[in-house]
């Protein structure tokens, strides 16, 4: 069986490997530069850099959320194994940044357990210069892992001001339409990109164990390739999600976006945009009923929105619409008296 290649595709640029420096013999650094014309799925880096990404904040599910900037963001993926002294060990950090003429992925690899400190120092230094992070499941894994390991090693690091976890954002948009919400599944379903000969991320701890216990690189190149592919997928997925917010691809996405907009923003423009996406969005109709009464004093219009909400309500939401209708009818009677 042939050794897996570091390159995920035949046209992928070859990584430049920097061996451990004399004062850091346990650290290796790989740097791979991708021309802006390089394509991952349907998106080139040039197209990603030019996309209006502000709408992505809708999928964060909160009003006034931060806006993603392609130029400011660091695209991050970590691999972890077991430390000989117990606990987790962050042995591989992949960080991608958009430069003027390329997308550059830097991978820091610890070749020994002691080399983890070098990886942590390099990752913390690189991420300190990035005001935004983009990850996939980073709120549950990558960021807590880096915070825990830097604290344990006495290395100063504070998470970026803005964090875009594409797993949570994608889950809001696609919900349970696919078998699972793994990155490779979303690549296949949303980006029309299928990985070939990809070593599963679950094999990373075994690769780390072989490296420091047996001195074997048998799985290491596969882990490096997997990590590189994970980092490459993040800008493409961000571009695809922003495109689908702008142009929903089916009725399910329109309904989901309308509900997300109604939850995130209860101002008139947000609710009107939600009803453009889905005229039968229960949450938007009910919130619009409250808004036109509060801001316009128009009880008749408020009652109309509440009745429309009742007409489209799912069984567990019907009572909320009915209570709203009863309130408005009572206020209209009082006004008439």
The answer to whether 142 and 80 have CB atoms below 8 angstroms apart is: no
User: By CB neighbour count within 10 A (0-12 exposed, 13-18 middle, 19+ buried), where does 296 fall?
Assistant: exposed
In which domain, by residue range, is 213 found?
16-246
Domain count, the chain: 2
3-state secondary structure of 21: strand
pLDDT at 56 over 70: yes
CA–CA separation, 184 and 195 (whole Å)? 7
Q: What is the 3-state secondary structure (H, E, C) of 152-198?
A: HHCCCCCCCCEEEEHHHHHHHHHCCCCCCCCHHHHHHHHCCCCCCCC
Q: Are residues 282 and 327 in the same domain?
A: yes
Q: From 215, 246, 277, give the residue that closes a domain.
A: 246
Q: From 216, 246, 276, give the residue that closes a domain.
A: 246
Q: From 182, 212, 246, give the residue that closes a domain.
A: 246
pLDDT digits (tens, 9 = 90+) for 146-193: 999 999 999 999 888 889 999 988 888 887 788 888 999 999 999 999
Q: Are residues 310 and 324 in the same domain?
A: yes
Whole-structure pTM value? 0.77
Q: Are residues 279 and 142 in the same domain?
A: no
pLDDT averaged over the chain?
83
Contacts of 14 (CB under 8 A, 6+ apart): 6, 7, 32
State the helix-helix crossing angle for 166-174 and 251-264, rounded to 10 degrees.
120
Tell me the CATH number at 296.
1.25.40
Q: Are residues 44 and 163 in the same domain?
A: yes
pLDDT more than 70, % of the chain: 89
The answer to whether 114 and 48 have CB atoms below 8 angstroms apart is: no
pLDDT digits (tens, 9 = 90+) for 74-102: 999 999 987 767 678 899 999 999 988 89
């Amino acid at each position: 069986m042939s050794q897996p290649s570091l390159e995920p595709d035949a046209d992928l640029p070859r990584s430049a490997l920097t061996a451990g420096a004399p004062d850091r013999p346990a650290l290796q650094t790989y740097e791979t530069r991708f021309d802006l014309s390089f394509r991952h799925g349907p998106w080139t880096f040039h197209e990603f850099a030019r996309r209006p990404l502000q709408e992505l904040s809708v999928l964060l599910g909160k009003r006034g959320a931060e806006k993603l900037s392609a130029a400011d963001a660091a695209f991050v993926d970590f691999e972890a194994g077991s430390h000989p002294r117990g606990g987790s060990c962050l042995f591989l950090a992949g960080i991608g940044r958009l430069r003027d003429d390329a997308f550059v992925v830097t991978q820091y690899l610890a070749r020994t357990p002691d080399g983890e400190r070098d990886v942590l120092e390099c990752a913390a230094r690189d991420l300190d210069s990035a005001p935004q992070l983009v990850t996939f499941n980073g709120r549950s894994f990558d960021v807590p892992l880096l915070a825990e390991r830097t604290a344990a090693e006495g290395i100063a690091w504070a998470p970026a001001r803005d964090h875009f976890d594409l797993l949570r954002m994608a889950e809001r948009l696609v919900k349970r339409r696919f078998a699972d919400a793994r990155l490779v599944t979303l690549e296949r379903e949303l980006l029309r990109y299928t990985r070939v000969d990809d070593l599963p991320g679950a094999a990373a701890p075994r690769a780390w164990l072989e490296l420091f216990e047996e001195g074997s690189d048998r799985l290491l190149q596969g882990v490096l390739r997997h990590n590189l592919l994970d980092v490459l997928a993040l800008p493409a997925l961000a571009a695809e999600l922003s495109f689908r917010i702008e142009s929903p691809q089916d009725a399910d996405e329109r309904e989901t976006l309308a509900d997300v907009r109604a939850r995130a923003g209860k101002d008139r423009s947000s609710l009107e945009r939600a009803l453009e996406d889905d005229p039968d969005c229960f949450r938007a109709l009910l919130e619009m009923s409250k808004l036109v009464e509060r801001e316009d004093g128009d009880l008749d219009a408020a009652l109309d929105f509440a009745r429309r909400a009742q007409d489209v309500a799912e069984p567990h939401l019907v009572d909320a619409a009915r209570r709203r209708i009863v309130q408005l009818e009572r206020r209209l009677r009082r006004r008439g008296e």
